[in-house]
Amino acid sequence: MKRSILLASAALSVVAIAAPALADDTTQVSDVVVTATRLPAIVAETPGARVIDSQTIQERGAVFATDILSDVPGLSVYRASFGGVASVRMRGASQDKTLVLVDGVAVNDPSQPAGGFDFSGFDLGDVSRIEVLSGPQSSLWGSSAIGGVISFTTSELNGVSANAEAGSYGTARGRLGLGVATEKFAYGVSVSKFHSDGFSAADKINGNTEKDGFDNTTVSARARYELNDRFGVDASYRYSDTDADVDGFGPVDALDTAATVNQSGLVRLRVADVLGLDHKFTVAASDIDRVAKSAYPSVYSGQHRLYRWQADSRDQNARLAYSFGAEHEETQADLDGRVKAELDVDSVFGVARFNATDRLSVTAGLRHDETDKYGGKTTGRISAAYDLGAGLTFSGAYGTGFKTPSVAQTVCDFCFVLPSTKVAELVPEKAESGELALGWRSNDGRFDGRLTAYRLEVENQIDGYYNPASFEYYYVNLIRTRTDGVELEGRVDLGRGFDLTAAYAWTDAENAVTKAPILRVAEHSGSATLGWTGQRLSGAVTVRAEGEMPDSGGMRDGFVITNLNGAYALTDNVTLTARVENLFDEHYQRLLGYGEAGLSGYVGIRLRY
């Protein structure tokens, strides 16, 4: 009964918010700039680049990263139910080939078998911006960026902000942010807490009834100080502590738990105008500790350490702009006490953009990574954008990438090999990709759209090999994969405060040798959001759809879900919020065998001073 009343309250709030006529609010999407390219670049002129700002995160009612990344074309988001391990494939590449950055710090987990990242506990409460770079980005960021890069930037706070929310499944969320920001200095801290009693991660249609709860605490801090016109220093730190009940190996609905602590941070010194260049000296680190309590308990930990020098041309908007630098990275992992290992990489890199004419710009990057165990690798990327006139922009890119074997793969963790068997030494995975895009923006700025076609090929992909005759298991460079895809995205200002955003992706990912489809990549996926904004009332309706998807154990069915989100500003400082997820109570799975939330509602309040 309480659940029904809460759902009704949330739904009525959203409907009430949607009712009145709304004011016009146009966003100039083509002017958005992406910064994870090292050289600031306009999104519309950068193949494969997307930016999600804090306003979009708020309008969609996104709580965790997976809530908003599902709307990005070419990204395949799958998870073992709410709170379970969540992964992202970019353009069909396996999840370990997505490099994840927080304030420029790599946070991938070196203790995972392939070195991927678990998005399940990534709270967006402190995030001001998400940048997505699809396609190989090794020329910018080195190993692990074969599929692309997802970069999160935390907020520089100014004032006091707080929000609280409660709803279905015993869910409660709260956040407090405090900060001061001036031209001279800035400092701030954000603390958020999330709790949910949850529901069975193993799908309830199979008779699973035990609730799998989820808790997350996230703390972040930023500081900046400008000593004078030439010298400045900034620092950031982020801490995330997640506890989740999980259903995995062993008896279904067993009382298994997983606890994960992620920490990352950096200190950066900025020095302007030395030898005609602006310099950045960065020391960065990330740590992760994972504890699993089950029939097979385990403790894993991993660390990244990075030391980087980067020099930039003083005028980043000049006809010729460039950036270059060098870095040293150390990666360590402790695999449940069985083995500890370290991988080191020394790198040099450079990227330049040349505006050949008023209509043509060309960007090229080159990087060399020298690893302590796998030798050297040079990667590059070149892209160009040409203004065709009449609002049309034609762009294209070609890039290469590589990924060194992970710590677990290097030491052959959990392997069993007979003395008589000769196993070939692993070599780095390598990739190449090409893409073409056509974008159009209307003269009045009311419409933006882009159509992209690409191919991504990965060679020497590392996979586990099992010999049933001898019961041997070990890692080999076994697979060559190919992904062909088309991504279509657009936004239109409908007037009277309404706007429509839509995206669609066709992704054909296969084993290039056997022609078997790549698991956990849906061929068809898309989303559409109808938003509205007024003086006090705002809201959005989002429809997400995925076609059927091959998974281990069978084919996962496709699904269509609808979410509502709304807000009413009582004053300039106080806003009431409401959202309804899975409006039509669709039964669906993101990962075969794991259920997702049914019809659920949440109400809250947001304060800004």
DSSP string across 291-349: EEESSS-EEEEEEEEEEEEEEEES-TTSSEEEEEEEEEEEEEEEETTS-EEEEEEEEEE
What confidence category does residue 4 fall into, taking pLDDT thresholds of 50, 70 and 90? very low
Q: Give the pLDDT mean for 222-249.
A: 93
Inform me whether the pLDDT recorded for 16 exceeds 70: no
Q: Would the pLDDT of 7 be above 70?
A: no
SS3 content of the chain, % helix, strand, coil (to 5): 10, 60, 30
Q: 10 Å Cβ neighbour count for 553?
A: 9
434 CB-side CA count, 13 A: 0
269 pLDDT more than 60:
yes
Phi-psi region of 323 (alpha: psi -120 to 50; beta: other; left: phi over 0): beta
pLDDT at residue number 1? 42
* pLDDT of the residue at 296: 81
CA distance 493 to 496: 9
Q: Return the pLDDT at 252.
A: 56
Position 26 scores a pLDDT of 31
The pLDDT score that the predictor gives to residue 276 is 96
Does pLDDT of 8 surpass 70? no
pTM of the complete model: 0.93
Taking residues 423-428, what's their average pLDDT? 94
- Range 2-608: architecture per CATH: Beta Barrel (2.40)
pLDDT reported for residue 518: 94
Q: Give me the count of residues in the chain.
A: 609
Percent of all residues in the chain with a pLDDT value above 90, rounded to a whole number: 86
Average pLDDT over residues 367-395: 97
Residues 10-37: what's their mean pLDDT?
Answer: 49
- Alpha-carbon span 366 to 381, nearest angstrom: 7
Q: Is the pLDDT of residue 342 over 80?
A: yes
pLDDT score recorded for residue 254: 63
What letter represents residue 259's amino acid? A
Range 59-85 average pLDDT: 93
Return the pLDDT at 14.
38
Lowest-pLDDT choice from 75-79, 97-101, 154-158, 255-259: 255-259
Tell me the pLDDT tens digit for each residue of 445-496.
999 999 999 999 999 999 999 999 999 999 999 889 999 999 999 999 999 9
CA angle 391-394-396, nearest 5°?
155
In tens, the pLDDT along 490-531 reads 999 999 999 999 999 999 999 999 999 999 999 999 999 999
pLDDT at 256: 84
Taking a C-beta distance cutoff of 8 angstroms, is the pair 120, 93 a contact? no
Query: In terms of pLDDT, which residue wins out, 35 or 441?
Result: 441
What are the residue ranges spanned by the domains of the chain?
2-608
How far lies 389's CA from each of 361, 392, 442, in Å? Answer: 14, 6, 11
The yes-or-no verdict on residue 58 having pLDDT over 80 is: yes
Helix (H, G, I), strand (E, B) or coil at 490: strand
Question: Could you give the CA distance from residue 215 to residue 200 in angstroms, rounded to a whole number?
Answer: 15
Within 13 Å, how many C-alpha atoms sit on residue 374's CB side?
23
Average pLDDT over the chain reads: 92
Rounded Cα gap, residues 199 and 208, in angstroms: 9
Q: Which of residues 183 and 203 earns the better pLDDT score?
A: 183
**Nearest CA to 522 among 553, 489, 554, 558?**
558
